[in-house]
Each structure stands twice: as C-alpha cells, then as structure tokens.
Amino acid sequence: MPPRHFLTGTELTAEELDALLDRALELKREPLSSNALAGRSVALIFEKPSTRTRVSFDVGIHELGGHAVVLRSDELQLSRGEAPRDTALVLSRHVAAVGLRTGADAILEELAAYSAVPILNMLSAGHHPCQALADLLTLREACASLEGVRLAYIGDANNIARSLALLGSLAGVHVALASPAGYALEDDLALPASARGSVTRYTDPYEAVRGAAAVYTDVWVSMGDEATAAERRSALAGYRVDDALLNAAAPGAFAMHDLPAHPGEEITPEVLYGARERIWDQAENRRHAQKALLEWLVA
C-alpha cells in the first residue's frame, strides 16, 4: 500500500479531518497518552528558518515516543545536487516519516512520488497545512463546532491563506478573504470535493469581517518576499488588524495570527497582546494537531 502524504491537506477527507481534530483535543488533554512513534524516527528538513514548526514537531515526536532527526538542508547532500528522488529512497530506509520546509512545492511532490514513508509539508511556497490544522483546532476550542463558522482572513493571500481556504472549507468553515488587488487568492483555487464550507473574496476588510467569529492575519512580507517589501507595505497598509476591525466582527470575535508577527504592521500591539487574541493558543496547538497528524500518517 502506498504511504499517506500531507502536502496540501486535501489528502484528508472531511471525516478524517474531523476525526484528526477530535484526536488532537484528546492528545492536548493527555499529551503522553500515545506511543504511536515508539522506537521510530522522523526526519525534519528545514530549508528555511523556523521557531514554532521546529519546536512543536521535535517535542511532539518525543511525546509520541519517537525520535526527531532535525536537519538543515545545507547539511544534506540535497544542497550539493543529490536528487530529491534519491534522498527519498534513502530516508525511507531509516525513518517513519519525513517533514520538509521548502520554497519549492515541486520538491515535496518529488519526495512524495518516490518515498516509501509519509512526506509532510512543514511550509512551502504554496501551502502551510500544518498551521491550518492548528488554526482549525483553535477555532474548534472557541466555537465548539466548525460547521458554519465564519473566519475572516485579512491581508496577503499567501500560503497560509490558501491552506485556510482549503482545510477550512473542508471543515465546514466559511472563509472570507480580504486582500488588495495583486495580493488576492487565485480565482481558480479548487476546493476539496467534500468541502462543506465556502471561500469568498473581498477587497474591503470591513465587509470580510462582518459576522466573523475570528479575524486572522499574517505578515505583509513573507519569507522570500523581501525584495518587494516596500511595495507590499504600501499595498497592504489598509489591511491591519486593529481594535476597530475586531469591533466590526461578530460579538466576542478574536484575533488569530500564525506568527511571527510584525506588531504595528499587519496587527497592532494592542490586539496581539490584548484580551481578544487566541494567537498564543494557535502556537501551542501546532504540537497537538501535528501529533494527531503523525498518528494518522503512520497508522
């Protein structure tokens, strides 16, 4: 049987996503209750910097009884031209799963094509599905059921926006994205066949947040976008999450951010460190959601 992979998140059915979030809540309550990785190792390859992803996977794998082999890509022969295919064939002989953070979705796809063990996306140019799992877990904790919940995403429709659209709609969430021209999510994004929610695009952030239970944002200058930082800051200046925008959302609405944040740009310090955020819960939930994901991948 071919291994399961997790490249975009749409490898999950709606039912599997529900079950994975249920399991993540169980693991959050009892972090040491699973030995799913006992005696097994997971390779984690980072081509880009990371704080949350690296720590949450490393600690989560340890809590599952396993061992994390954390590798910087410049330590691997990949950086000297060894083919992703050969890397996949070799790693498959040693570890139970391989995670990769990369700028190139094509490398993930090539690893997945040749690996005998699950490949998981720890952030790519196109997707950040592990972050979206943690975000849905955070929404579930706040809203009990995800079916029909409205989540507003404000700003650059980057990899995390795409993953929220794909996985959120699969979970039954209505995702409202507000972005300026040139920074919007592609019109032809195909939602999963079993999506129960929806994705709607706006340019006005105040329209997007109307009725939203949560208001999400991300940095204006993502990793790799540094060359266009000035024009991005100019284009996205009207897309800051502040108290006024939160006030326009549903009563009790809270702020979300995948971090790292640039307070004063996409989010105000008052919101980031205020009473209406669940941002630090999101950061913690990376570990619980990813442990449930690892269980599903190696099952």
Binding residues for ligand CP, rule: CB under 6 A, are: 50-53, 123, 131, 258-259
51 C-beta neighbours (distance < 10 Å), count: 10
Nearer to ligand CP, 107 or 123 (CB): 123
Nearer to ligand CP, 126 or 172 (CB): 126
The sheet that has 150-154: what strands, in order across it? 198-202, 174-178, 150-154, 214-217, 254-257
β partners of residue 255: 215, 277
Nearer to ligand CP, 55 or 250 (CB): 55
Nearer to ligand CP, 44 or 271 (CB): 44
What is the distance between the alpha carbons of residues 92 and 115, in angstroms, rounded to a whole number? 6
Nearest to 209 by CA among 165, 178, 169, 172: 178
| Element containing residue 255 per DSSP (H, E) | strand 254-257
Nearest to 149 by CA among 159, 130, 135, 161: 135
Nearer to ligand CP, 48 or 67 (CB): 48
For residue 84, cis peptide bond before it (omega within 30 degrees of 0): no
What's the min distance (Å) between Cβ of 195 and ligand CP?
Answer: 24
Nearest to 277 by CA among 251, 262, 256, 247: 256
Q: Where are the alpha helices (DSSP H) in the chain?
A: 14-29, 52-63, 84-91, 105-114, 129-143, 159-171, 205-209, 229-235, 243-247, 269-272, 279-298
The three-class DSSP label of residue 154 is strand
Which residues lie below 8 Å from residue 55, measured CB to CB, with a gap of 6+?
A: none
What's the min distance (Å) between Cβ of 131 and ligand CP?
Answer: 5
Nearer to ligand CP, 48 or 201 (CB): 48
What's the min distance (Å) between Cβ of 101 and ligand CP?
Answer: 7
Q: Write the single-letter amino acid at 230.
A: A
Nearer to ligand CP, 219 or 298 (CB): 219
